[in-house]
Amino acid sequence: MIINATDLKNNLGKYLRAAEREDIIITSNGRKVARLSAYGDEAYSAEQPPLVRELVEAYCQFPRKATYEEFLQLSENSEERYEYIDGEIYLLASPKTTHQQVLGELFGIFYTWFRGKKCRPMLAPYDITLKRDLENINVVQPDLMVICDLEEKLNEKDYYMGVPALMIEILSESSRGKDSVRKLDLYMSTGVKEYWIVNPFNKEVTVFLFENNDVLKNTTYKKDESISSYTFEGLEVSLSSIF
């Protein structure tokens, strides 16, 4: 059976049951990119490693840790957006309206404040590659980031390979744990200076200042308060302007 990735995503249960009877080939943009097989099927060859044993898992998280090369193969052959953190692959769900409204307000404020300055704000989707060490390579797509060395850190393929000075994540139901724990640790450990966690559910923003792979300061802003950046003096955002 041959189906496309969108059909799989929309009819997951149906194809999981069907995979117990026969292999299912998944296509993207008309190309065969993966196979969904019953667990225990050893039909994969050395030339075609088991990148996706059950593609359903890739739509939330891989069933096992993947190599950086496997992540690149998956992301390059898919129309979906993924993040890769400490060997685990996450599908980025389509953001909801509240998320996009908050992001739009924040970007507007940042765009105006940074206009004419060396540092510039950038929006997702935009891959950021962060290395804990030479072996532990991670790829994330923050909702909003501030980059101060864009021209110096572009590679030959026009991808940014530096570390943003400031990262912002807007929480959603599916990303609370990842953004609040895993990304906080990743950003703290890879040279990001400042991290904002924006919580639209309780209309709060927590700002972290990192130094020497640790949290130097953190402040949570509530109600009608104004957020003050630790890194960029004079950058302030009132909560009432984004919520």
Cα within 13 Å of Cα(57), Cβ side: 17
Look at the alpha carbons of 32, 155, 65, 173 in this order and tell me if their dihedral is positive or negative.
negative
Please state, in angstroms and rounded to a whole number, the distance separating the CA atoms of residues 213 and 138. 16
Predicted pLDDT of residue 46: 39
Structure tokens at 149: 């060395």
Reported pTM: 0.75
Please state, in angstroms and rounded to a whole number, the distance separating the CA atoms of residues 122 and 107. 8
The chain-wide mean pLDDT, for the chain, equals 87
| CATH, domain range 97-242 | 3.90.1570.10
Domain map (residue ranges) of the chain: 2-91, 97-242
DSSP state of 225: -
How far lies 199's CA from each of 44, 94, 202, 228, 243, in Å? Answer: 43, 17, 6, 16, 10
Q: Which helix (H) or strand (E) holds 42?
A: none
How far lies 176's CA from each of 40, 126, 161, 204, in Å? Answer: 33, 20, 26, 13
pLDDT 10s digits, 147-190: 999 999 999 999 999 999 999 999 998 888 899 999 999 999 99
How far lies 183's CA from each of 22, 71, 89, in Å? Answer: 39, 18, 13
pLDDT 10s digits, 33-62: 777 776 544 443 434 333 333 333 444 445
